[in-house]
Amino acid sequence: MSTTDQRGSAPNPLAFGPIVDRHPANPILTGAEFPREAGIVRVFNSGAIKVGSKYIMACRAENRALEDRIWIADSDDGIQFVPRPAPVEMPDDPEFREYTAGMYYDPRITEIEGNYYLMHAAHSGHTCRLSLLSTTDFDHFDWLGFVSETDNRNGVLFPERIRRRYARLDRPNTGSEFGDIWVSYSPDLIYWGESRCVLRNSEVHWAWSKIGPGAVPIRTPGGWLNIFHGVRTQCKAHYVYQLGVCLLDLEDPSKVIALAKEAILAPEETYELVGQTPSVVFTCGAVLEPDQSIKLYYGGADTVMCLATTTVERLLYACYHR
């Protein structure tokens, strides 16, 4: 069969090949690599950022008692990460301790105007809300407080102000908003409003159960690249988590410019199919490199951390053509 079309031009290789490539070193981080005395058995759904020439991962680390830790790990190459001797010291605040009961997880790291912010989920019973930490050095963290109403999760900050306000994607869980991605705005990172729906889960044909924000949005000349997770229910009882991508308007990110019809990453490897939660790929972090390549960090089966690579060009192509 010819590899050219009737006009004799070769087809675009992006039309058929993978949009992202798994790294051959996967999984790149496991619970066994944390200090033994900590009892960490799983690490997944971790945020990541590049600071200068170094990579920093804010890990969701978990022990057998299902106690979560946010734990910083460092890397020179973005592939081999070394956890620090101890986890992040969380707020010694009665409100924080009472509400979370030790359940805080899925941190996303965003740099805004020289400060680094960790937006993470905080859980109490069956109710989740968003909490925010800030740091300038990843050694000392300040708690800015709870920054959403209850029953909201998957919060991620945009890396710059939009129309002079901070902006955030999130996923409310209640009422008609269940399973959809929303955008909200804030003058101070604490009080949020003017919320608008960005993307309905019903618009994502491979993820009819729910969707949610993932990595920090990536600015391109044509819009914000938003890598998100989407969930479908298989055989009425089994969730399958995949990753998708869409392009949002730079000045009004409630407007979707383009949406990839296909998932860009689905659970296929053993470390994605088998673990604490089977059939899961879930991202909280992506690093844009100077050459426009992207390191996409994701959790496999709620058990290990993994890495995939792609480019801005490939993601934009997927938004418009896949």
DSSP string, 279-295: SBEEEEEEEE-TTSEEE
Owner of token pair 């981080």: 29
CA distances from 140 to 35, 111, 159, 276 (A): 20, 15, 21, 31
Residue 100: phi, psi to the nearest 5? -85, -30
| Residue 125: both structure tokens together | 């019973």
| Residue 290: both structure tokens together | 């100077």
Residue 170 corresponds to which amino acid?
D
Q: Please report the pLDDT score of residue 234 as a whole number.
A: 84
Q: Please report the pLDDT score of residue 17 as a whole number.
A: 86
| Pairing between β-strand 152-157 and β-strand 142-146 as defined by DSSP bridges | unpaired
pLDDT per residue, tens digit, the chain (322 aa), is 333 444 556 678 788 789 999 999 999 999 999 999 999 999 999 999 999 999 999 999 999 999 999 999 999 999 999 999 999 999 989 889 888 877 899 999 999 999 999 999 998 776 899 999 999 999 999 999 999 988 899 999 999 999 999 999 999 986 555 689 999 999 999 999 999 999 999 999 999 889 999 999 999 999 999 999 999 988 777 899 999 999 999 999 999 999 999 999 999 999 999 999 999 999 999 999 999 999 999 999 999 999 999 999 999 999 999 9
Which among 5, 65, 70, 75 has a CA at the least distance from the CA of 39?
A: 65
| 245 alpha-carbon distance from chain centroid | 12
| Residue 319: both structure tokens together | 């938004």
Whole-number Å distance between alpha carbons of 136 and 60: 20
Whole-number Å distance between alpha carbons of 256 and 4: 33
Q: Please report the pLDDT score of residue 192 as a whole number.
A: 97
DSSP state of 206: T
Whole-number Å distance between alpha carbons of 247 and 321: 12
Whole-number Å distance between alpha carbons of 154 and 210: 12
Q: Please report the pLDDT score of residue 178 as a whole number.
A: 67
Beta-carbon contacts of residue 235 (< 8 Å; ≥ 6 apart): none
Whole-number Å distance between alpha carbons of 114 and 54: 16
Whole-number Å distance between alpha carbons of 81 and 155: 24
Whole-number Å distance between alpha carbons of 67 and 198: 33
* Residues 4, 11 contacting (CB under 8 angstroms): yes
Q: Please report the pLDDT score of residue 186 as a whole number.
A: 98
* All domains of the chain in start order, with CATH: 19-321 (2.115.10.20)
Whole-number Å distance between alpha carbons of 62 and 212: 22
